[in-house]
Structure 1
Amino acid sequence: MSATTRTFDRAPSTLPLMLKAVLPALPVVGGLPGIRHQRGNEPDLVLERRGVTTDPAHLGAYREVCGFEPSTTLPATYPHMAAFALHLALMTDTAFPFAPMGLVHLRNTITQVRPISPDETFDVAVRAADLRPHPKGQLIDLRTDVTIDGESVWRESTALFSRGKGGGPEQAAAPLEGVDPPPAAVQWKLNGDLGRRYGAVSGDRNPIHLHPLTAKAFGFPSNIAHGMWTKAHCLAALDARLPDGFTVDVEFKKPIFLPGTVVFGQAGGPKAGITFGVVGTKKPVPHLVGRVTPLT
C-alpha cells in the first residue's frame, strides 16, 4: 500500500505546531482523543513542499547566526530550514508514535550530492522511518529528500531518541561509534541569547532553547544551544575545506548550556575525510562529534 502524501503550498507555521507539541505532555489533556499519540509503527505518511525558493534576507540571517561567510551556494545545513516545519508537522501528528516533547535529537546525517544555488527552486519531502530499539528506549528517523527537477541533491536523516522501557541493543552500529572528538584548538564563547537568535531564524522555538526559566520547566539548569546550530557552526568553520559532494554525520552528546564557552577541533583532510568535535572548557566533556566523508 502506498504512503499517504500531504502537500503544503507553504511552510506550516511553527508557533501553533510548537503549542500542539506541548499538549501531549500535559496531565489529563495529553490523554485526550486527538491529542494522545498512537503507539506502534512509524506513520505511513509523506509531507512535502514543492517549488521552494530561497529568501535572500532569511539566508543572510542564517549565515550570520551560524557563522557562514557569503557564498554563491547554500550552506550544507541550510535546506534543513525548509524541512524543519514539515518535521514538526509530522511529529505532532497523532499517528507519530511518540509525543514530541521529551524526544532527544541524538544523531544527524546530511548528504550533499552537489551544492545548491540560492537561485534554484527545489522540492522537499519528509517521512518517518526505521523505528528500532535502543538500549534505553527506542529510535526513529526523520528522513528528508530535496530534489531539483526530479534529481536528489540533498538528503538528511535525523535520529530521535525516546526514553522508555522495553529497549534493546541497536541492530546496527551507530555511524560514529568509537569516534572521539579530535584535540580542540578554537574557543567559542556563546551568548545566552543564542537559542533565541537561532530559534527566530529556524522556527525551532522549543522552550529548552529560549530562556533559563523555560528550560528549567523541562528539567534543565539553563537553556541549551540547538544541536543543528552546533552542527552548522562546525561546518561554517570547515567550509573552505569541504568538497562539493559529501556526507556529514554528527552525534550529539552532552547539551551546551548557555551562556557558555566550548572548544572546537578538527583533524584530517578533504580527501581522506575530516573528523571534528566540540568539547567543554572547564571539563573535556564532549558535546558533539562529527565526520565529513567525501562522496568521491
Structure 2
Amino acid sequence: MTGAQPVILGDMPSLSKLYVNAAATAARRRVLGTDAGASLPPCGHEVRGVLAQVGNLTAYQHLVGETASDVLPAGFLHALAFPVAMSVMNRDDFPLPLLGMVHLANTVEQHGPLLFTESLDITSWAENLRGHRAGTQIDVVAEVRRTDQSGVVWKGTSTYLARGVFLPGIDKPLVMPEPATFAAPDPTAQWQLGVDTGRAYAAVSGDFNPIHLSVLSAKALGMRRSIAHGMYLASRALADVGAVKGDSFRWDVAFEAPVFLPARVALDISSVHSGAGAWHRSDYVAWNPRSGRRHFSGSVTAL
C-alpha cells in the first residue's frame, strides 16, 4: 500500500450504517454542493483478527454453487473485505459519491488457500483516480493476510465509476476503447435468477445496496428494476470453473450490462491447456439469451 500507515479500526464496519451515512452525505451534497477536489484519502483502513462465520460461509457456498469446504472461496473473501473497502469510500475526504457508483471491473490474485478457522487482517485503500468519458473512475484495493504474518494471500482490486461526476484536474480520456463485437456462442450453462436474488446475496455478503433489493429501492437510485450484484454473478462463474483452478490463480471480470431481476443468464466457459495438457486458463462470458447483449466476461488464470 502506498501512502501513510492505515487507520486501524477496532471492529469490522457495519455496512448498514455505512449506507445510511452515504445517503446522508449524498443529501447534504445535493443541498450544500460539494467542494471535493481530485485528491485521494491519504491512508487506508485496516481491521485485524477477522474470523469468518461458518454459517455464513456455508450459506454463501450454497448460494453461488461452490463445493462445501473449509477453504474460503475468493468471492467470499471479497465479501469479507468489502466493509473495510466501503469504510474507505465513506470517508469525508473520499472525492466521489458512494451511492450510485457503477462497478466496472474486478481483479483478484489468490496465493494459496485460507481456512475459515484462520484469523485474518484486512487492509483497504483507494488509488488510481482517473477520468472516464462518462465520469470519474477509481480503484479500491483490499488485501488479506493471516494475522501476524506479512505475506498477502488474497488481493482484490475493484474499479468503480462515478457516472456524471467530473472532478477538477481530472481529464477525460481522448479515446476510450470500444467494446469488442460479441456473437453469443452455444452456452455451457443457463442460470435462472429470481427477483429475490439480490436480497439472497445481500444476506450472505452484507451488501444491502438498495439497487439490488427491490424495484422501489432501485428506482429511487435511477434503475428501472433491481439488479443482481456483480460479484454474485462473477462468483457463480468462478464456481462453475470449479476446482481445476487450484489454490493459486488470478481472477478477472469486466462488467458491461446490468442483469435486471428476474432474469435468465446464459454462460459459456472455455478452457485453455498447456502443451503438457495441464489446465492453464478458463475464459467465461455471460449474456442475455433473448437480446444477445453481453453482461460480463472474464478469465481465471493459473499463477
TM-score by length of 1: 0.90
State whether structure 2 residue 165 is matched by structure 1 residue 161.
no
Give the match's secondary structure for 2:75: coil
The answer to whether the Cα contact below 8 Å between 1:125 and 1:144 also exists between their aligned partners in 2 is yes
**Cα deviation digits, residues 116-169 of structure 1 (max 9, x gap):** 122222211000011112232221100111112111111000001122346422
Q: Which residue of 2 aligns with 1:230?
A: 233
Structure 2 counterparts to residues 64-83 of structure 1, below 5 A: 64-83=62-81
Unaligned segments of structure 1, at least 5 residues: none
Deviation at 1:249, TM superposition (A): 0.7
Identity within the alignment, %? 32
Give the letter for the 1:194 counterpart.
T
Give the match's secondary structure for 1:100: coil
For 1:194 and 1:31, locate their aligned partners in 2 and report how far apart those are by CA, in whole Å. Answer: 31
For 2:89 and 2:51, locate their aligned partners in 1 and report how far apart those are by CA, in whole Å. Answer: 24
The answer to whether the Cα contact below 8 Å between 1:136 and 1:167 also exists between their aligned partners in 2 is no
For 2:289 and 2:74, locate their aligned partners in 1 and report how far apart those are by CA, in whole Å. Answer: 27
For 1:19 and 1:37, locate their aligned partners in 2 and report how far apart those are by CA, in whole Å. Answer: 21
Query: Structure 1 stretch 181-190 or stretch 9-18: which is displaced more?
Result: 181-190
Q: Which residue of 2 aligns with 1:112?
A: 110
Give the letter for the 1:284 counterpart.
G
State whether structure 2 residue 4 is matched by structure 1 residue 3.
yes
Structure 2 counterparts to residues 1-296 of structure 1, below 5 A: 2-26=3-27, 29-30=28-29, 36=34, 38-148=36-146, 149-164=149-164, 165=166, 167-169=171-173, 178=180, 183-269=186-272, 271-295=279-303
Query: Structure 1 stretch 214-223 or stretch 37-46: which is displaced more?
Result: 37-46
The answer to whether the Cα contact below 8 Å between 1:37 and 1:95 also exists between their aligned partners in 2 is no
TM-score by length of 2: 0.88
Q: What is the count of residue pairs matched by the alignment?
A: 290
Unaligned segments of structure 2, at least 5 residues: 274-278
Give the letter for the 1:44 counterpart.
P
**Cα deviation digits, residues 42-99 of structure 1 (max 9, x gap):** 1111100111112111111111222212023111111112211112111111111101
**Cα deviation digits, residues 179-202 of structure 1 (max 9, x gap):** 967642311000111111111211
Give the letter for the 1:24 counterpart.
T
The answer to whether the Cα contact below 8 Å between 1:24 and 1:37 also exists between their aligned partners in 2 is no
For 1:145 and 1:48, locate their aligned partners in 2 and report how far apart those are by CA, in whole Å. Answer: 9
For 1:61 and 1:235, locate their aligned partners in 2 and report how far apart those are by CA, in whole Å. Answer: 17
Query: Structure 1 stretch 137-146 or stretch 164-173: which is displaced more?
Result: 164-173
The answer to whether the Cα contact below 8 Å between 2:62 and 2:68 also exists between their aligned partners in 1 is no
For 1:104 and 1:276, locate their aligned partners in 2 and report how far apart those are by CA, in whole Å. Answer: 21
| CA gap 1:37/1:258 in 2 versus in 1, 3 angstroms | farther
| CA RMSD of superposed structures (Å) | 2.4
The answer to whether the Cα contact below 8 Å between 2:133 and 2:176 also exists between their aligned partners in 1 is no
